[in-house]
Structure 1
Amino acid sequence: MPTASTARRMFELLEPICLVTYLADEPNEELAALGHRTYWDGYFASRAAPLGRVPAEVVHAAFYSFAEGEAARHIPGAWETVAPEVSRAAWQRGSVTALRRILGEELAGSPGLVRAADLTTKAATSAPTDGRVMYAAMRTLPVPSDPLDRLWHSATMLREHRGDGHVAALLGAQIGGTEAHILSALDMDIYPAESFGRVHHLPRARLAAVMAGLRERGLVDGEGRFTDAGRETKRRIEALTDELAAPPYSALSAAELAELQDALDPITSRLVAAGSP
């Protein structure tokens, strides 16, 4: 059986492939060309597209970590501008274009990448969907035939699988979505945590209430820094997230898992060097 440490290692190898979607210009340019006015219009329209035309409340529940009302600022309005499936295709197309540019044709078309795509897809299409809303939605989409496209698609599928498990871990620890961002900011040594880019735009009263709640629970101190209990809570959440992210890799033999990690290593290294940490 794959372990939590296996899941953590695979997260480290696959996450840079997914981060290209959020850090590179090409995906945003593709979405802007469709008529999306802002980055977040395109983000919500594309990432939520596999769920179908659900209400904003469903998107908020599935995404979990956004503040109340943020999904509703984009859903369903962004889908009225551009059909969900069109946004999703543009997002994926731009992401793969960015990957190809960063990796270069030699690495993007290498036998190692083809093998990485095959094994990542084997893992990504093999896990149970029970309780995994975003992952289950992704499983309904066709798997691309192009190897680089397939690698991005399957890495993203595994990211959503992990994200579903992370939401479960947060709920089990009674950590809300905005609170989760505060804990992540402190874990990254961002201080004050309220300055973190994912929450800094929220109303001051809202952030003050979140910090007060964490302080009352003993997770942050009077200066808004981690307490020992806060660090331990964050550690437990991450450990459970890793544990819940392990099932997809049961589909791979030990030899296949080692082969996949070896094949992904030069891909990840190139992406990290280019700024996809």
Structure 2
Amino acid sequence: MFELLEPICLVTFLADECNEELAALGHPTYWDGYFASRAAPLGRVPAEVVHAAFYNFADGEAARHIPSAWETIPAEASVAARERGSAASVRRILGAELATSPGLLRAADLTTTAATGASTEGRMMYAGMRTLALPVDPVARLWHSATMLREHRGDGHIAALLGAGIGGTEAHVLGALDAGIHPAESFGRIHHLPKKRLAAVMDGMRERGLLDADGRFTDAGRETKARIEAVTDELAAPPYDALSPEELDDLAAELAPITATLTAAGSR
């Protein structure tokens, strides 16, 4: 389900429409719009809370955007712009025939059932999304519900990382190496960090036996990454208990052409 739904969510970050909508509100940079719109369902919380909820951003990064991104632009307007732009991207990429098809409506209905059927306990970002009104438009509702499930999974992923004793920057190192990026310090999400900070992270992971002297996975490091992903999958499963086996099959079948179209376009 992650593989089927993720391309729907990625338009928010990869396609132009969402960024254009947020820029039109007055957000001067991509990251201002990102923090303002994604964090808004939590309420007007301090940067420290956003940093904790997002987990893997560098120290001080959230504070460069929160709360300043909300001072002149209502948080609710940023959320609405994100939804509006994301739905426009999905609709453009899918084309009129697929975007208005009975299959998309069925996929939106089933995804919404799953996305609204899970417990919010311990799920900060998911709980925030659950407070938002469901869109009426099927394309917007499909994006919204897929994004709720993405945040639910993300909350579980953070729990898995915490359980394994992996911090936010360390998670990026594991992800980079798993994607074949070496040295991990060159990965785009962390390459800008101070060299002293990155060196301390890498040294700490070596001391724990997760990395070898060359900064590559040890067997223990690879096993740790695999265990985190397995726990993440396990914790992401409960929303789908709201669907019968037949409905799950229907959802996978209806999402298949939608996902294939978005994937072919790179969700752009």
TM-score band by shorter chain is: over 0.9
Corresponding residue for residue 111 of structure 1: 102
TM-superposition CA deviations, 1:246-265 (whole Å, max 9, x none)? 00000000000000000000
Corresponding residue for residue 98 of structure 1: 89
Corresponding residue for residue 20 of structure 1: 11
Cα distance in 1, alignment partners of residues 23 and 198 from structure 2: 31
Identity %: 77
Corresponding residue for residue 34 of structure 1: 25
Letter matched to residue 153 of structure 2? R
Letter matched to residue 98 of structure 1? S
SS of the residue corresponding to residue 225 of structure 2 reads helix
Cα distance in 2, alignment partners of residues 30 and 276 from structure 1: 17
Cα distance in 1, alignment partners of residues 169 and 267 from structure 2: 24
Corresponding residue for residue 69 of structure 2: 78
Aligned counterparts, 1:108-187, within 5 A = 108-187=99-178
Corresponding residue for residue 219 of structure 1: 210
Q: CA deviation at 1:91?
A: 1.0
- Find out whether 1:236 has 2:227 as its counterpart: yes
Corresponding residue for residue 269 of structure 1: 260
Cα distance in 2, alignment partners of residues 200 and 109 from structure 1: 42
Q: Could you tell me which runs of 5 or more consecutive residues in structure 1 were left unpaired when the two chains were aligned.
A: 1-9
Aligned structure 1 segments of 4 or more residues deviating by more than 6 angstroms: none
Q: Is the 8 A contact 1:186 1:226 kept in 2?
A: yes
Cα distance in 1, alignment partners of residues 127 and 249 from structure 2: 27
Cα distance in 1, alignment partners of residues 202 and 73 from structure 2: 38
Q: Which deviates more from structure 2 when the two are superposed, residues 201-210 or residues 40-49?
A: 201-210
TM-superposition CA deviations, 1:146-179 (whole Å, max 9, x none)? 1000000000000000000000000000000010
Letter matched to residue 16 of structure 1? P
Corresponding residue for residue 59 of structure 1: 50
Q: Is the 8 A contact 1:57 1:72 kept in 2?
A: yes
TM-superposition CA deviations, 1:5-31 (whole Å, max 9, x none)? xxxxx0000000001100001111111
Q: Is the 8 A contact 1:42 1:87 kept in 2?
A: yes
Q: Could you tell me which runs of 5 or more consecutive residues in structure 2 were left unpaired when the two chains were aligned.
A: none
TM-superposition CA deviations, 1:227-270 (whole Å, max 9, x none)? 11111000000000000000000000000000000000000000
Letter matched to residue 190 of structure 2? V
Q: TM-score, normalised by structure 1?
A: 0.95
SS of the residue corresponding to residue 198 of structure 1 reads coil
Q: CA deviation at 1:35?
A: 1.1
Matched pairs, number:
268
Cα distance in 2, alignment partners of residues 212 and 95 from structure 1: 40
SS of the residue corresponding to residue 67 of structure 1 reads coil
TM-superposition CA deviations, 1:39-70 (whole Å, max 9, x none)? 11000000000000000011011111111111
Letter matched to residue 105 of structure 1? A
Q: Is the 8 A contact 1:139 1:157 kept in 2?
A: yes
Corresponding residue for residue 5 of structure 1: none
Corresponding residue for residue 192 of structure 2: 201
Q: Which deviates more from structure 2 when the two are superposed, residues 32-41 or residues 121-130?
A: 32-41
Root mean square deviation, CA, Å:
0.9
Letter matched to residue 166 of structure 1? H
Q: TM-score, normalised by structure 2?
A: 0.99
Q: CA deviation at 1:276?
A: 3.0
Cα distance in 1, alignment partners of residues 191 and 75 from structure 2: 28
Cα distance in 1, alignment partners of residues 20 and 199 from structure 2: 36
